[in-house]
Protein backbone atom coordinates (compact mmCIF):
# COMPACT_ATOMS: atom_id res chain seq x y z
CA UNK A 1 0.00 0.00 0.00
CA UNK A 2 2.69 2.47 1.04
CA UNK A 3 4.94 1.36 -1.78
CA UNK A 4 2.06 1.85 -4.17
CA UNK A 5 1.35 5.30 -2.75
CA UNK A 6 4.99 6.21 -3.31
CA UNK A 7 4.74 4.87 -6.88
CA UNK A 8 7.35 2.23 -6.14
CA UNK A 9 10.01 4.86 -5.52
CA UNK A 10 10.94 4.04 -1.93
CA UNK A 11 13.63 6.07 -0.13
CA UNK A 12 16.10 3.15 -0.52
CA UNK A 13 18.13 4.19 2.51
CA UNK A 14 17.14 3.66 6.14
CA UNK A 15 18.53 7.01 7.26
CA UNK A 16 16.66 8.79 4.50
CA UNK A 17 13.47 6.91 5.35
CA UNK A 18 13.72 7.95 8.99
CA UNK A 19 14.36 11.59 8.10
CA UNK A 20 11.47 11.68 5.65
CA UNK A 21 9.15 10.04 8.14
CA UNK A 22 10.20 12.54 10.78
CA UNK A 23 9.48 15.44 8.41
CA UNK A 24 6.12 13.95 7.46
CA UNK A 25 5.06 13.45 11.08
CA UNK A 26 6.32 16.87 12.10
CA UNK A 27 4.41 18.55 9.29
CA UNK A 28 1.26 16.47 9.77
CA UNK A 29 0.97 17.36 13.46
CA UNK A 30 2.80 20.69 13.38
CA UNK A 31 0.02 22.76 14.98
CA UNK A 32 -0.15 20.30 17.89
CA UNK A 33 3.55 19.51 18.25
CA UNK A 34 4.82 23.05 17.90
CA UNK A 35 2.07 25.41 18.94
CA UNK A 36 2.74 29.06 18.27
CA UNK A 37 2.13 31.34 15.33
CA UNK A 38 5.69 31.40 14.12
CA UNK A 39 6.33 27.67 14.06
CA UNK A 40 3.05 26.87 12.31
CA UNK A 41 3.90 29.56 9.80
CA UNK A 42 7.28 27.89 9.24
CA UNK A 43 5.57 24.52 8.78
CA UNK A 44 3.19 25.94 6.19
CA UNK A 45 6.09 27.53 4.32
CA UNK A 46 7.90 24.20 4.33
CA UNK A 47 4.85 22.44 2.84
CA UNK A 48 4.52 25.03 0.09
CA UNK A 49 8.21 25.11 -0.71
CA UNK A 50 8.35 21.31 -0.91
CA UNK A 51 5.80 21.45 -3.72
CA UNK A 52 7.50 24.40 -5.38
CA UNK A 53 10.96 22.87 -5.21
CA UNK A 54 9.72 19.45 -6.32
CA UNK A 55 8.06 21.05 -9.34
CA UNK A 56 11.33 22.81 -10.14
CA UNK A 57 13.18 19.53 -9.78
CA UNK A 58 10.81 18.03 -12.32
CA UNK A 59 12.32 20.46 -14.80
CA UNK A 60 15.92 20.62 -13.60
CA UNK A 61 16.56 17.19 -12.15
CA UNK A 62 14.46 15.14 -14.53
CA UNK A 63 14.27 17.24 -17.66
CA UNK A 64 17.75 18.76 -17.45
CA UNK A 65 16.35 22.22 -18.19
CA UNK A 66 17.43 25.29 -16.22
CA UNK A 67 14.70 27.85 -15.75
CA UNK A 68 14.87 31.17 -13.95
CA UNK A 69 11.18 31.88 -14.31
CA UNK A 70 9.93 29.57 -11.63
CA UNK A 71 9.08 32.43 -9.31
CA UNK A 72 7.14 33.99 -12.15
CA UNK A 73 4.94 30.88 -12.35
CA UNK A 74 4.71 30.82 -8.56
CA UNK A 75 3.66 34.46 -8.59
CA UNK A 76 1.05 33.85 -11.29
CA UNK A 77 -0.78 31.41 -9.06
CA UNK A 78 -0.52 33.74 -6.10
CA UNK A 79 -1.72 36.78 -8.03
CA UNK A 80 -4.47 34.67 -9.59
CA UNK A 81 -5.93 33.91 -6.18
CA UNK A 82 -5.44 37.47 -4.98
CA UNK A 83 -7.10 39.06 -8.01
CA UNK A 84 -9.97 36.59 -8.06
CA UNK A 85 -10.62 37.08 -4.35
CA UNK A 86 -10.54 40.84 -4.72
CA UNK A 87 -12.89 40.99 -7.69
CA UNK A 88 -15.21 38.04 -7.05
CA UNK A 89 -15.52 38.50 -3.32
CA UNK A 90 -14.28 36.06 -0.71
CA UNK A 91 -15.22 32.44 -1.16
CA UNK A 92 -13.86 29.08 -2.18
CA UNK A 93 -15.12 29.58 -5.74
CA UNK A 94 -12.93 32.66 -6.10
CA UNK A 95 -9.92 30.79 -4.75
CA UNK A 96 -10.50 27.88 -7.11
CA UNK A 97 -11.04 30.11 -10.14
CA UNK A 98 -7.98 32.19 -9.30
CA UNK A 99 -5.72 29.22 -8.70
CA UNK A 100 -6.82 27.43 -11.84
CA UNK A 101 -6.62 30.44 -14.13
CA UNK A 102 -3.21 31.37 -12.71
CA UNK A 103 -1.97 27.83 -13.24
CA UNK A 104 -3.33 27.68 -16.79
CA UNK A 105 -1.75 31.02 -17.64
CA UNK A 106 1.56 29.81 -16.23
CA UNK A 107 1.37 26.62 -18.28
CA UNK A 108 0.51 28.60 -21.41
CA UNK A 109 3.45 30.96 -20.97
CA UNK A 110 5.76 28.04 -20.24
CA UNK A 111 4.51 26.44 -23.44
CA UNK A 112 5.32 29.55 -25.47
CA UNK A 113 8.77 30.06 -23.98
CA UNK A 114 9.48 26.37 -24.36
CA UNK A 115 8.50 26.34 -28.00
CA UNK A 116 10.73 29.31 -28.72
CA UNK A 117 13.84 28.21 -26.92
CA UNK A 118 13.86 24.46 -26.38
CA UNK A 119 13.47 23.96 -30.11
CA UNK A 120 16.91 25.42 -30.62
CA UNK A 121 19.07 24.88 -27.58
CA UNK A 122 18.26 24.02 -24.01
CA UNK A 123 20.53 26.79 -22.73
CA UNK A 124 18.48 29.42 -24.55
CA UNK A 125 15.72 28.50 -22.16
CA UNK A 126 17.73 29.65 -19.14
CA UNK A 127 18.47 33.05 -20.68
CA UNK A 128 15.02 33.65 -22.08
CA UNK A 129 13.28 32.72 -18.85
CA UNK A 130 15.55 35.12 -16.99
CA UNK A 131 14.63 37.93 -19.37
CA UNK A 132 10.91 37.17 -19.37
CA UNK A 133 10.75 36.76 -15.59
CA UNK A 134 12.39 40.11 -14.98
CA UNK A 135 10.13 41.80 -17.51
CA UNK A 136 7.08 40.33 -15.79
CA UNK A 137 8.34 41.41 -12.37
CA UNK A 138 8.79 44.98 -13.61
CA UNK A 139 5.42 44.86 -15.34
CA UNK A 140 3.68 43.74 -12.14
CA UNK A 141 5.19 46.57 -10.15
CA UNK A 142 4.32 49.08 -12.91
CA UNK A 143 0.69 48.10 -13.45
CA UNK A 144 -0.29 49.35 -10.04
CA UNK A 145 -3.93 49.75 -11.02
CA UNK A 146 -4.36 46.03 -11.40
CA UNK A 147 -1.76 44.49 -9.15
CA UNK A 148 -1.28 47.09 -6.43
CA UNK A 149 2.26 47.80 -7.67
CA UNK A 150 5.05 47.60 -5.11
CA UNK A 151 2.57 47.58 -2.23
CA UNK A 152 0.93 44.38 -3.41
CA UNK A 153 -2.59 43.27 -2.64
CA UNK A 154 -4.17 42.30 0.64
CA UNK A 155 -7.33 40.28 0.25
CA UNK A 156 -9.77 38.17 2.20
CA UNK A 157 -9.73 34.41 2.07
CA UNK A 158 -12.91 32.37 2.63
CA UNK A 159 -14.26 32.90 6.15
CA UNK A 160 -13.73 29.26 7.05
CA UNK A 161 -9.97 29.80 6.73
CA UNK A 162 -9.63 32.86 8.98
CA UNK A 163 -8.76 32.89 12.70
CA UNK A 164 -12.20 34.37 13.42
CA UNK A 165 -13.92 31.16 12.39
CA UNK A 166 -14.27 28.74 15.32
CA UNK A 167 -15.55 25.22 15.03
CA UNK A 168 -14.95 23.94 18.50
CA UNK A 169 -13.11 24.63 21.70
CA UNK A 170 -9.65 23.33 22.26
CA UNK A 171 -7.98 20.07 21.37
CA UNK A 172 -4.72 19.28 23.19
CA UNK A 173 -4.46 22.96 24.02
CA UNK A 174 -4.76 24.12 20.40
CA UNK A 175 -7.59 26.44 19.41
CA UNK A 176 -9.75 24.93 16.69
CA UNK A 177 -10.11 27.89 14.34
CA UNK A 178 -9.97 28.58 10.64
CA UNK A 179 -6.22 29.02 10.70
CA UNK A 180 -5.90 25.35 11.62
CA UNK A 181 -8.17 24.45 8.71
CA UNK A 182 -6.06 26.61 6.40
CA UNK A 183 -2.93 24.80 7.54
CA UNK A 184 -4.46 21.40 6.90
CA UNK A 185 -5.76 22.52 3.53
CA UNK A 186 -2.23 23.49 2.57
CA UNK A 187 -0.74 20.34 4.04
CA UNK A 188 -3.27 18.10 2.28
CA UNK A 189 -2.96 19.76 -1.11
CA UNK A 190 0.82 19.76 -0.86
CA UNK A 191 0.89 16.07 0.01
CA UNK A 192 -1.39 15.20 -2.90
CA UNK A 193 0.64 17.29 -5.35
CA UNK A 194 3.85 15.75 -4.11
CA UNK A 195 2.59 12.18 -4.48
CA UNK A 196 1.29 13.10 -7.90
CA UNK A 197 4.72 14.32 -8.97
CA UNK A 198 6.27 11.16 -7.57
CA UNK A 199 3.83 9.25 -9.74
CA UNK A 200 4.81 11.31 -12.80
CA UNK A 201 8.54 10.80 -12.45
CA UNK A 202 8.16 7.05 -11.98
CA UNK A 203 5.90 6.65 -14.98
CA UNK A 204 7.22 5.78 -18.43
CA UNK A 205 7.07 9.53 -19.14
CA UNK A 206 9.50 10.16 -16.28
CA UNK A 207 11.84 7.46 -17.54
CA UNK A 208 11.97 9.07 -20.96
CA UNK A 209 12.74 12.40 -19.32
CA UNK A 210 15.65 10.87 -17.45
CA UNK A 211 16.90 9.38 -20.68
CA UNK A 212 16.74 12.80 -22.31
CA UNK A 213 18.60 14.35 -19.39
CA UNK A 214 21.37 11.79 -19.67
CA UNK A 215 21.74 11.93 -23.44
CA UNK A 216 19.24 13.85 -25.50
CA UNK A 217 20.84 12.94 -28.79
CA UNK A 218 20.46 9.26 -28.08
CA UNK A 219 16.91 9.61 -26.84
CA UNK A 220 16.06 11.34 -30.09
CA UNK A 221 17.73 8.56 -32.04
CA UNK A 222 15.69 5.93 -30.23
CA UNK A 223 12.63 7.73 -31.46
CA UNK A 224 11.36 9.98 -28.70
CA UNK A 225 10.40 13.53 -29.52
CA UNK A 226 12.80 15.35 -27.21
CA UNK A 227 11.27 18.78 -27.71
CA UNK A 228 7.78 17.46 -27.06
CA UNK A 229 8.80 15.82 -23.81
CA UNK A 230 10.74 18.86 -22.66
CA UNK A 231 7.91 21.26 -23.41
CA UNK A 232 5.42 18.99 -21.66
CA UNK A 233 7.46 18.76 -18.50
CA UNK A 234 7.99 22.52 -18.53
CA UNK A 235 4.24 23.14 -18.71
CA UNK A 236 3.52 20.59 -15.99
CA UNK A 237 6.17 22.12 -13.77
CA UNK A 238 4.82 25.64 -14.32
CA UNK A 239 1.28 24.47 -13.59
CA UNK A 240 2.25 22.91 -10.27
CA UNK A 241 4.43 25.87 -9.32
CA UNK A 242 1.45 28.15 -9.86
CA UNK A 243 -0.68 25.94 -7.61
CA UNK A 244 2.01 26.23 -4.95
CA UNK A 245 1.84 30.00 -5.39
CA UNK A 246 -1.93 29.87 -4.89
CA UNK A 247 -1.42 28.00 -1.61
CA UNK A 248 1.09 30.60 -0.51
CA UNK A 249 -1.37 33.39 -1.25
CA UNK A 250 -4.09 31.60 0.72
CA UNK A 251 -1.77 31.25 3.67
CA UNK A 252 -0.41 34.81 3.66
CA UNK A 253 -3.64 36.53 2.56
CA UNK A 254 -1.33 38.98 0.79
CA UNK A 255 0.69 39.06 -2.42
CA UNK A 256 3.40 41.50 -3.40
CA UNK A 257 6.34 41.57 -5.81
CA UNK A 258 8.83 41.02 -3.00
CA UNK A 259 7.07 38.07 -1.45
CA UNK A 260 6.13 36.05 -4.53
CA UNK A 261 8.10 37.38 -7.51
CA UNK A 262 11.52 38.43 -6.27
CA UNK A 263 14.67 36.84 -7.57
CA UNK A 264 15.63 35.89 -4.02
CA UNK A 265 12.96 33.18 -4.04
CA UNK A 266 14.47 31.84 -7.24
CA UNK A 267 17.84 31.63 -5.50
CA UNK A 268 16.21 29.84 -2.56
CA UNK A 269 14.63 27.30 -4.88
CA UNK A 270 17.94 26.64 -6.60
CA UNK A 271 19.65 26.14 -3.27
CA UNK A 272 16.96 23.79 -2.01
CA UNK A 273 17.08 21.65 -5.13
CA UNK A 274 20.84 21.42 -5.22
CA UNK A 275 21.37 20.84 -1.52
CA UNK A 276 18.53 18.34 -1.23
CA UNK A 277 19.55 16.47 -4.34
CA UNK A 278 18.71 16.99 -8.00
CA UNK A 279 16.77 14.28 -9.73
CA UNK A 280 15.07 12.87 -6.66
CA UNK A 281 11.72 14.09 -5.45
CA UNK A 282 12.79 13.38 -1.87
CA UNK A 283 15.62 15.85 -2.28
CA UNK A 284 13.02 18.58 -2.56
CA UNK A 285 11.55 17.59 0.80
CA UNK A 286 14.86 17.63 2.60
CA UNK A 287 16.18 20.73 0.84
CA UNK A 288 13.04 22.74 1.49
CA UNK A 289 12.75 21.69 5.13
CA UNK A 290 16.42 22.40 5.80
CA UNK A 291 16.58 25.76 4.04
CA UNK A 292 13.34 27.17 5.42
CA UNK A 293 14.40 26.21 8.93
CA UNK A 294 17.86 27.65 8.31
CA UNK A 295 16.44 30.90 6.99
CA UNK A 296 14.25 31.32 10.01
CA UNK A 297 16.90 30.52 12.55
CA UNK A 298 20.23 31.10 10.77
CA UNK A 299 19.87 34.86 10.75
CA UNK A 300 19.66 34.89 14.54
CA UNK A 301 22.73 32.66 14.68
CA UNK A 302 24.67 34.95 12.38
CA UNK A 303 23.71 37.90 14.51
CA UNK A 304 25.31 36.12 17.45
CA UNK A 305 28.43 35.36 15.42
CA UNK A 306 28.67 39.00 14.41
CA UNK A 307 28.49 39.95 18.07
CA UNK A 308 31.29 37.52 18.86
CA UNK A 309 33.71 38.97 16.33
CA UNK A 310 32.76 42.61 16.86
CA UNK A 311 35.82 44.84 16.91
CA UNK A 312 37.72 42.88 14.29
CA UNK A 313 37.99 44.44 10.81
CA UNK A 314 35.65 43.29 7.99
CA UNK A 315 34.59 40.11 9.84
CA UNK A 316 31.55 41.66 11.56
CA UNK A 317 30.40 42.90 8.15
CA UNK A 318 30.73 39.38 6.75
CA UNK A 319 28.75 37.99 9.66
CA UNK A 320 26.04 40.62 9.40
CA UNK A 321 22.64 38.94 9.46
CA UNK A 322 21.76 40.62 6.16
CA UNK A 323 24.67 38.86 4.49
CA UNK A 324 23.34 35.35 4.89
CA UNK A 325 22.86 35.16 1.13
CA UNK A 326 26.65 35.36 0.81
CA UNK A 327 27.11 32.21 2.86
CA UNK A 328 24.28 30.42 1.12
CA UNK A 329 25.91 31.31 -2.21
CA UNK A 330 29.23 29.85 -1.06
CA UNK A 331 27.41 26.75 0.16
CA UNK A 332 25.64 26.51 -3.19
CA UNK A 333 28.84 26.61 -5.24
CA UNK A 334 30.57 24.14 -2.93
CA UNK A 335 27.68 21.72 -3.00
CA UNK A 336 27.58 21.72 -6.79
CA UNK A 337 31.26 20.81 -6.84
CA UNK A 338 31.39 18.29 -4.04
CA UNK A 339 27.83 16.99 -3.63
CA UNK A 340 26.34 17.17 -7.08
CA UNK A 341 23.80 14.54 -6.02
CA UNK A 342 22.87 16.40 -2.84
CA UNK A 343 21.97 14.95 0.52
CA UNK A 344 19.64 12.30 -0.86
CA UNK A 345 22.18 11.14 -3.42
CA UNK A 346 24.83 10.88 -0.73
CA UNK A 347 22.63 8.83 1.57
CA UNK A 348 21.63 6.44 -1.17
CA UNK A 349 25.19 6.15 -2.40
CA UNK A 350 26.46 5.17 1.04
CA UNK A 351 23.90 2.40 1.21
CA UNK A 352 24.87 1.13 -2.21
CA UNK A 353 28.56 1.28 -1.31
CA UNK A 354 27.93 -0.83 1.77
CA UNK A 355 25.85 -3.34 -0.14
CA UNK A 356 28.67 -3.70 -2.65
CA UNK A 357 31.17 -4.35 0.13
CA UNK A 358 28.99 -6.96 1.80
CA UNK A 359 28.73 -9.01 -1.35
Partner 1 sequence: MTAAPDHTPTMSRAGLAERLGPYIPVLLIPAIMAFGLIFIPSMSSWLTLTVSGLAMGMMIFIMASGMTLVFGLMDVINFGHGVFISVGAFVGISILLVLGHMTEAPSLALNLAAILAAVLAAMAATGVLGWAFERVIVKPVYGAHLKQILVTMGGLIVVEQLIIVLWGPEEIYILRPEALRGAITFAGAAMEKYRLLAVGIGAVLFLVMRYTLRRTKIGLIVRAGVENGEMVEALGYRLRLVFVGVFIAGSALAGLGGVMWGLYQEVITAHMGQQIMILIFIVVIIGGLGSVEGCFIGALLVGLLQNYIAFLEPKLALISNIGLMVAILMWRPQGMIPVVKAK
DSSP strand pairing (174-177 vs 166-171): antiparallel
Q: Which stretch binds partner 1 (CB under 8 A): 48-56, 177-185, 322-330, 347-355?
A: 322-330
Nearer Cβ to partner 1 (128/240): 128
Q: CB–CB of 266/70 below 8 Å?
A: yes
Query: By CB under 8 A, is residue 127 in contact with partner 1?
Result: yes
Query: By CB under 8 A, is residue 11 in contact with partner 1?
Result: no
Query: By CB under 8 A, is residue 221 in contact with partner 1?
Result: no
Nearer Cβ to partner 1 (31/64): 64
Query: By CB under 8 A, is residue 253 in contact with partner 1?
Result: no
Contacts to partner 1 from residues 157-216, by CB under 8 A: none
Nearer Cβ to partner 1 (66/191): 66
Binds partner 1 (CB under 8 A): choice among 30, 53, 132, 208? 132
Please, what's the b/e burial string for 306-331 (b: 16 or more CB within 10 A of its CB; e: otherwise)? beeeeeeeeeeeebeeeebeeebeee
Query: By CB under 8 A, is residue 50 in contact with partner 1?
Result: no
Count of residues engaged in binding partner 1, rule: CB under 8 A: 42
Binds partner 1 (CB under 8 A): choice among 78, 328, 344, 347? 328
Query: By CB under 8 A, is residue 60 in contact with partner 1?
Result: yes
CA distance linking residue 245 with residue 339, whole number of Å = 29
Q: Which stretch binds partner 1 (CB under 8 A): 78-86, 186-194, 232-240, 326-334?
A: 326-334
Q: Which positions lie near partner 1, rule CB under 8 A?
A: 60, 64, 66, 116-117, 119-124, 126-128, 130-132, 134-135, 138-139, 142, 263, 267, 270, 274, 314, 317-318, 320, 322-323, 325-326, 328-330, 332-333, 336-337, 340
Amino acid sequence: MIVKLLSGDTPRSPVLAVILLAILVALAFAPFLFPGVRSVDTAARICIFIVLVASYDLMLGYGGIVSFAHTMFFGMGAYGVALASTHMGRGFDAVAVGALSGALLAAAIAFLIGLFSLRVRAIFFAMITLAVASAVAVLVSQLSGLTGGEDGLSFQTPRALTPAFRFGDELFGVRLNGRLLAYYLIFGVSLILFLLMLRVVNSPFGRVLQAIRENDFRAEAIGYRVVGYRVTVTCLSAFIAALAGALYAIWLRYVGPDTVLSFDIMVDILLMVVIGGMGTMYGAVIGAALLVLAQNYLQALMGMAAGAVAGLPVLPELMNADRWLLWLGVLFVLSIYFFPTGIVGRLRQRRQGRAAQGR
